[in-house]
A = this chain, B = another copy of it.
C-alpha cells in the first residue's frame, strides 16, 4: 500500500512537477535561496532526477523564468476588442495588468530579484528575464504609439519606460505590504497619470491641468 515505488517514467510530467516546485521556492527566496534539495523535497523527486531534466541550477531557474513569463502572459487577458476612447482603453489595460500581477506574481517577483542582483557570473535566468521584459516594454511602446499617433518616438520611449518601471514599483509595494496597498487603485492612478502625461507631450502648450 501507500505509493507504488516505481511509476512508469514520464518525463514531461516530472519536468512540470520540478518547475512547479521551483517557481514557488524561487519566488520566495530568490536565486541563492533556492536550493536543489528544497526543490527536490517539494516536488518529491530526488535531487539527481532534477539534474536529468535540467543541466544545472542555472538552467532550472532560467526555465522557471521562461515558463512563468508565459503563464503570466496568458493569465493577462488583454481585451480583445479595442473599444472605447483611448483613455478608456489605457485604463482597461492597466486594470488587466494589475489583475495579472495579483494573480500570477511569480514571474515578476523572481525576475526582479534576479534583476537586482549583480553577481560576477550573471545567472542565465537574469538574462532571460531582462530579454522578455524588453519585449514587453516594446509592446507597450507600440500600443502607446497606436493609441496616440501624434507622439514622437522619444516621447513614446520615455512613456513606455516610465510605465513599465513604475508598474514594477507598484508591484513591489503590493508584494511588500499586501494589506495596506490597493494595487488596483494604484494602477488606475497610474493609467490616468500616464494618459495625462501623454496628452501633454503631444501638445506641450497645453496648460497644466
Contact B209 A199 (CB under 8 A): yes
Chain A residues with a Cβ closer than 8 Å to the other chain, count: 49
Most buried by B among A166, A177, A189, A190: A166
User: How many copies of this chain does the complex contain?
Assistant: 4
The residue that A200 contacts in the complex, of B164, B169, B186, B209, with Cβ under 8 A, is B209
Contacts of A44 in B (CB 8 A): none
Name the distance in Å between A75's Cβ and chain B's nearest Cβ. 20
Name the distance in Å between A66's Cβ and chain B's nearest Cβ. 18
Name the distance in Å between A111's Cβ and chain B's nearest Cβ. 10
Instruction: Name the CB-closest residue of B to A200.
Output: B209
CB neighbors of B among A152-209 (8 A): 158, 161-162, 164-170, 172-173, 175-177, 181, 185-186, 189-190, 192-197, 199-200, 206-209
Give the distance in Å from the alpha carbon of A200 to the alpha carbon of B193 in the complex.
10
Contacts of A169 in B (CB 8 A): 164-170, 172
Residues A117 and B113 in contact in the complex (CB < 8 Å), given A32-B32, A185-B158, A196-B209: yes
Segment with Cβ contacts to B, from A23-31, A57-65, A91-99, A139-147: A23-31
Contact A165 B161 (CB under 8 A): no
Instruction: Name the CB-closest residue of B to A176.
Output: B115
Give the distance in Å from the alpha carbon of A200 to the alpha carbon of B208 in the complex.
10
The residue that A161 contacts in the complex, of B28, B87, B112, B186, with Cβ under 8 A, is B186
Contact A33 B162 (CB under 8 A): no
Contact B176 A172 (CB under 8 A): no
Contact B112 A172 (CB under 8 A): yes
Contacts of A177 in B (CB 8 A): 130
Which 8 pairs from chain A and chain B are nearest by CB? A169-B169, A32-B32, A166-B166, A165-B169, A168-B169, A165-B173, A209-B209, A32-B33
The residue that A170 contacts in the complex, of B29, B87, B165, B186, with Cβ under 8 A, is B165
